[in-house]
A and B are shown apart, each in its own frame.
Chain A
Amino acid sequence: MNQNPPAAFNSAKANESLAPFTPPDWWASPDTEKVKSSRAFDRASGKTIRGIASFMKETVFAQNHAVSGGLLQSLDPRMKLVTFFAMIVSVSFIKHPAHLLFVYVLTLALAAMSRIPIPFFVKRVWFFIPIFSAVIALPALILVPGKPIAHLFTLAGHDISITSQGLDSSLLFVLRVASSVSLAILLTLTTKWTQLLQSLRTIRVPSIFVLILGLTYRYIFHILDQVLETYEARLSRTISRQSAAKERGWIAGRAGHTLIHAMKTGDGVYEAMASRGFTGDPVFYSEHVSGIGDILFVFTAAAVIILIAVFGGFV
């Protein structure tokens, strides 16, 4: 036992490969030169990376609404999946905006009965609408021939106007998208992902497809965390402004690295699966049992679809 740091620590007793570490002189004289700090990287790339990560976590991984004990949460996920799928298909055949509006209001009512805050639900749905519909709905305003209702500009001697028929088509399309997206989001918000995957298996979706979907869900989270860690590691060592070209280069390099990492993870996962007997045709187990409430829900949904069809909604 020694009172002072043992000399033997630096002696030949220690392994050669674990030779004692001697700090370099410059560790003792920190650089005091003032460096103009910049969070340019944080502002640009950082916001994007954090934004994507937080959006993914909120939309894909948030499961608090799936366990909040409302109407839709209490149903057998298989019944729910089949019913919602049928309703989404039906929505694509409805031709009157009023009927579509009815379906949309119905989804709001279902959201309320499932304890999903309406402002949150509406915001979630309308975030997707422009992405899916703008590309088609906006040109349709002027491209669908019909009675002009608002003149926009003149191009090569032709009047470009919004037409009445164009407005109807666009409205119909946006409402269709809104109703379909509302139904899809309602389903995913009120059902755990794990239950959705199990439900897909029970309705005979090919098991390899369900497996890939499950793996994607499982590993997006893992890879997302890695991307964030890489970003934070760089941020912790960034004190001065980087040129835009350098930032682009770094992001491209990290994207490539993430892809390689994902491929390596994929190889490892395949080995782990093969090690436990997977040969390309996965076998799964499902444990859901349907009750009266589920059957009632399916019948009610079927009745709504039929009513819309009977009263002239379908093409």
Chain B
Amino acid sequence: MNIYDIDNVSFSYSGKFSAISGVSMTIAPGEKVALLGPNGSGKSTLLRMMDALVFPDSGEISFMGRVLIEDNLHDEANTFFRKNVALLFQNPEIQLFSPTVFDDVLFGPMQLGIPRDEALHRAEESLEKLRIAALRDRSTHELSIGEKKRVAIAGLLAIDPGVLLLDEPTAGLDPRSCRDLIDIISSAGESGKTIITATHDLHLADELSDKAFVFSDEKTIIASGATNDVLSDTERLREWNLTHIHRHKHGGRWHEHEHKHL
């Protein structure tokens, strides 16, 4: 059974501004998938739909064979879904709403009815694994953006979901924090989790996915396939606004090459 079956899904904001148009895809358990596309191409909206935070105007999204509509997400069904799917928001400011780091990491397990001792164990271990145990009692608003991202991921891992939805996970991070975060996500992927990453950074897609879907400015999928195949088609990447010619200077000499992240 597929994790997600997405069939011809469309969505618009206020009935006027199209955010997703006729998108279809299937995602199998354990797959690592990249949603590629320029800003405003509908990647984030699709992730929010996959997390059942917004629902399609037309078409259908099914999670493990069950259609995601509001009526299907009450009580145990909602708990089951939330235990299995977790979304990393692009803006950690929104995701970290609790007063302290520990409160925030513990929030998911506590809401999802995980027994108290188990929830505490998971929260402590998530902080340890992400090397942020020292931040345990800090206020969330005091953290750097890199620390906020780590805390946000710790909060998701404490839920131990089978599916991780990541919205521009490395946006705004310095190179070292970026590298650390990729390693963390990769190791989560190695443990068998399904990882779906929305990004316009092709290096990130290369590291975190085996399969890629390319979104266009028309909010629809214009290409899909193995990530290696998609990323090796440089002509089309340029057509899709995913690469550009980058020039820079080394020792007084100018270089130019394809740039695969924005």
Contact = CB atoms under 8 A, between A and B. Distances in A.
Interface of A: 1-6, 8-9, 13-15, 17-18, 193-194, 197, 214-215, 217-219, 221-222, 265, 268-269, 271-279, 282-285
B245 A9 contact: yes
Interface stretch (B18-26, B57-65, B103-111): B103-111
A277 B256 contact: no
Contacts of B253: 1-3
Given A6-B256, A15-B238, A275-B82, A218 B245 contact: no
In the A-B complex, the 4 residue pairs with the smallest Cβ-Cβ separation, listed nearest first, are A277-B111, A276-B108, A268-B94, A277-B112
A288 to B, nearest CB: 13
Interface in B80-137: 82-83, 86-87, 89, 91, 93-95, 97-100, 103, 106-108, 110-113, 116, 119-120, 137
Contacts of B99: 193-194, 197, 214, 217-218
Contacts of B137: 194
Interface residues of B, number: 47
A277 B82 contact: yes
Contact of A276 (B86, B94, B140): B86
A251 to B, nearest CB: 24
Contact of B79 (A217, A273, A277): A277
B254 A14 contact: no
B14 to A, nearest CB: 13
Contacts of A221: 141
A103 to B, nearest CB: 31
Contact of B89 (A5, A17, A268): A268
A224 to B, nearest CB: 10
A272 B165 CA distance: 12
A225 to B, nearest CB: 9
26 contacts: A1-B254, A2-B254, A3-B252, A4-B254, A15-B238, A15-B243, A18-B241, A194-B99, A194-B100, A194-B137, A194-B139, A214-B99, A265-B93, A271-B53, A271-B94, A272-B95, A273-B97, A275-B89, A276-B107, A276-B112, A276-B155, A283-B111, A284-B103, A284-B110, A285-B116, A285-B120
